[in-house]
Structure 1
Amino acid sequence: MTPDDFEAVVADAALSPNVHNTQPTLWRRIDTRTIALLEAPDRTLPHGDPTGRDVAASHGAAAEGFILAASLRGFAVRPALAHEGEVGRLLVDGAATPDLLAPFLTRRRTYRGRFTTDRMQAALTDLAVAAPDLMLLTRTEDIDHVARLNDAASLRGFRNKAFRAELLSWMRLSPRHPRWSKDGLNARAMEMSSLEAMGAGVALRPGVFEILDGLGLGPVLTGEAAVVNSAAAVALLHRPADEAPFETGRAWHRAWLEMTRLGLAAAPMTVLADDTDAAADLSVRFNLPPDRRLITVFRLGRAPDSSLPPPVRRPLKDVII
C-alpha cells in the first residue's frame, strides 16, 4: 500500500461512525503492509464515557471502515495484534474483491430529524435477515415505550452538570464556530434551526438549565419523543457480553452500513445503553439473552429527500501522524 493508497483509504475510513463525532482515531503507516491506529488524547469523554468503552468501539468502527475502503481498492486487510501505545493494528494481506458493504461507507449518515410516513417494510424484513444482532421493534406501543425511556434517560444525563458541559463542548451551534465543519455535533447535523441552536446554547449553560428545569421545562428542552415516534422501527443492537469493545465497534459499523444499503436512515440513541436503568428496562422487556449486551438503540426510517447533511470530518493532515 503506497502513501497515496493509504491516504485515500484513510479519507474514507475517517467517515466511520464515532461517539459524538469526536473522531478519536489517528493513523500511522508503518510500512507498505502495516497500519497502526492510535488514540488522540484530547478526544476522549471522561464524563460521558468514563470507562472508555465508546471510544474503543469508535476505534473498532474506524478499523472496519479502513478494511472496507481498502477492499474497494483491491487490498485485503486484516486486524493484527496491537503494539504498545496503539489501539489497533491492521495488516495488508494480499488482494481482495470489494466487500458488499464497502460502497456504502461514504454514503452513511446520521439522521436526527423526523422520518417520512414510509414504513419501509421490505427494507426492515431484509435487515432482520442481514443483521441478526439487531432486534427490530415495529409495534407502535414498543416504539413509544422506547421514546419515553429515551426522554427519561436523556433528562437524567442533562441533569449531570459535568456530562452536560462535556456534551456542550462538542456541540457546534453556529456556522461561525471554528470547528463547525471539522468535528463534533453541529446544528445542521442535529436538525436544529438557527433559532433552536441559539436557544440551546443559552438553555444548556450552567445555572440556566437548572433554573429552567426547576420550572418544569427540562423535559421540553431535552425530549425528542415526537422524532422517535416518527420512526418506522427501533432496533436494539446487542452483542456478546464479553466481547472486546474494539470488535463491538466493527460489528456496530457493519450493522449501520446494512441499514444504509437497504435505504434506511438511522440515528443512534446511545443513552439507552449507557443509562443503567434504561438498559435494564429494555433487556427485560424485550428478553435479551443474559449472555448478550445492549450496545445501542437505533431509530430507523426514511429521511426526506436531500435532508442528510454532508459529513463533518477533520482534514487528513490532522489524523495521519
Structure 2
Amino acid sequence: MTLDAEMFRALVAEASLSPSVHNTQPTRWRLTPDGRVQVLEDESRRLPVGDPEGRDLNVSHGSAVEGFCLAAGRRGLIVDVEHDGVHVAKLTVRSGEVSDPLAAFLTQRRTYRGKFKAGAGAHAALARLEQSEDLIVVQAPKPIAELARLYDEASLRWFRNAAYRAELVSWMRLSRRHPSWSLDGLNAEAMEMSGIEAAGAGIVLRHGVFETLDRVGLAGALVAEAAVVRSALALVLFHRPANEASFDTGRRFHRAWLGFTQAGLSAAPMAVLADDSDARARLQVDFGVGVDRRLITAFRLGIAPVRDLPPKPRLGLDALIV
C-alpha cells in the first residue's frame, strides 16, 4: 500500500507522544513519494554533555519509532523497520491484521514526577504489572529508601558539573512565559513545581550560586528528591543486553513504560542511577545485573493523584515533519 499524507500525519502525531530524553523530541519524519517513511535526526537536539555518546538520543529515536508502529497497528497497518546506514530508520507500511494490547495506552502514558499517593488499588495495580527478564521490581521500603539515598548522591555529583547543569537548565521551562513552555523540554508543571519552587530552582542552579551553596553544604538538600522517591509503590530497574543497539533498547523502553500504564501505574524515570558510573556499578552488584547486561534506567512507580492534566508539551507536526 502507499501511505497517504493524511494517515502519515496522524501516525506522526501519535508517535510524537513517545518519551524522549529531557523531552527533546529529536526525531523527524519524511514521507517519500513512494509512500515510505524516512526517520531522521534533528542534530540541534543532541545533549553533548549529558549524552556524549548519543545513547539516550538513539533510545529516544527507537521509542518514537515504536510509537509510530503502535499507532499504525491500531489502524490495521504493519510497519517494517529497516536501517540503511544513512537515516535513523526507513519504514515501510503495509496492510495487515495487528493486535497489540499496548497500542491502546500510547495516548494515555504520562510522566508523573511528584509524590505518589497511597491507596487501596495501588498493590492491585502492581500485581498487574507484567513480569519480564529485563525488569527488576523493588518493593520493600528499606531498599527503596537506600535507592532514594543513592539517587540523591548521584544527582548531586552530576549537578556539580557546571556544564551538565547548564545543559539541563537550557531544557527546563521554569516560567509560562518561556516560548517553549508548551512545546518541548521540562516545564515546571511537568516537574511538579509550584511557581515559587520553579523560581527558586532558576536561582539555585545558576552558575556561581550553586557552587556557593554547595560549599556551605546546602546544595544537596535543595536538589534532593528522596522524599518523592520513597513515596513510590515500587522502583523498577530496567536493564538490557550490553551489546544491544540503543535504537532497539528504545523500542523496548517504550513498551516497558506502556506496560506500567497498562497496569494502572504512573512512572517517572530516574536516569542518573544508570548514567552515574558509581551508582550503576553499585546497583549491578546489589541486584545481580550481570556483566553482559547494561542498566538503562530506573523508574519509580505509583498511583498519581486524579486530576485534569494539561496536554503534554510537544512540538507541532510542521516542526516534526520535514
Please report how far the alpha carbon of residue 61 of structure 1 lies from its aligned counterpart in structure 2 after TM superposition: 0.2
Which digits, 9 at most, give the CA deviation of each residue in 1:137-179, with x for residues without a partner?
0011110111011100100110000000000000000000000
Please report how far the alpha carbon of residue 99 of structure 1 lies from its aligned counterpart in structure 2 after TM superposition: 1.7
Letter in 1 for 2:286: R
Verify: 1:140 aligned to 2:144, yes or no: no
- Three-state SS of the structure 2 residue aligned to 1:247 is helix
In 2, the alpha carbon distance for the partners of 1:292 and 1:282 equals 12
Aligned pairs for 1:275-294 within 5 A: 275-294=276-295
Note if contact 1:128-1:136 (Cα within 8 Å) is conserved in structure 2: no
2:42 aligned residue: 40
Please report how far the alpha carbon of residue 51 of structure 1 lies from its aligned counterpart in structure 2 after TM superposition: 0.5
Which digits, 9 at most, give the CA deviation of each residue in 1:255-296, with x for residues without a partner?
000000111000000011000000001010011122111010
Letter in 2 for 1:6: F
2:80 aligned residue: 78
- Three-state SS of the structure 1 residue aligned to 2:69 is helix
Distance 1:75 1:128, change over 3 A: closer
Please report how far the alpha carbon of residue 28 of structure 1 lies from its aligned counterpart in structure 2 after TM superposition: 0.7
Please report how far the alpha carbon of residue 128 of structure 1 lies from its aligned counterpart in structure 2 after TM superposition: 4.0
In 1, the alpha carbon distance for the partners of 2:80 and 2:253 equals 17
Hey, which bits of structure 1, 4+ residues long, moved more than 6 A?
Answer: none
Aligned-residue RMSD, C-alpha: 1.2
Distance 1:32 1:125, change over 3 A: farther
Note if contact 2:130-2:259 (Cα within 8 Å) is conserved in structure 1: no
Please report how far the alpha carbon of residue 320 of structure 1 lies from its aligned counterpart in structure 2 after TM superposition: 0.2
- The match for 1:125 among 124, 127, 133 is 127
In 2, the alpha carbon distance for the partners of 1:123 and 1:136 equals 13
Note if contact 1:16-1:61 (Cα within 8 Å) is conserved in structure 2: yes
Verify: 1:230 aligned to 2:209, yes or no: no
Please report how far the alpha carbon of residue 308 of structure 1 lies from its aligned counterpart in structure 2 after TM superposition: 4.7
Q: Using the aligned pairs only, state the percent identity.
A: 55
Verify: 1:21 aligned to 2:6, yes or no: no
1:220 aligned residue: 221
In 2, the alpha carbon distance for the partners of 1:252 and 1:288 equals 17
In 2, the alpha carbon distance for the partners of 1:144 and 1:40 equals 39
In 2, the alpha carbon distance for the partners of 1:240 and 1:151 equals 27
Unaligned runs of 5+ in 2: none
In 2, the alpha carbon distance for the partners of 1:255 and 1:309 equals 24
In 1, the alpha carbon distance for the partners of 2:308 and 2:151 equals 24
Letter in 1 for 2:319: D
2:171 aligned residue: 170
Please report how far the alpha carbon of residue 95 of structure 1 lies from its aligned counterpart in structure 2 after TM superposition: 1.7
2:204 aligned residue: 203
Distance 1:259 1:235, change over 3 A: same
1:240 aligned residue: 241
Distance 1:307 1:213, change over 3 A: farther
Letter in 1 for 2:19: P
Please report how far the alpha carbon of residue 33 of structure 1 lies from its aligned counterpart in structure 2 after TM superposition: 4.0
- Three-state SS of the structure 2 residue aligned to 1:124 is helix
Letter in 2 for 1:8: A
Letter in 2 for 1:87: V
Note if contact 1:33-1:93 (Cα within 8 Å) is conserved in structure 2: no
TM (norm. structure 1) is 0.97
- Three-state SS of the structure 1 residue aligned to 2:212 is helix
Please report how far the alpha carbon of residue 215 of structure 1 lies from its aligned counterpart in structure 2 after TM superposition: 1.5
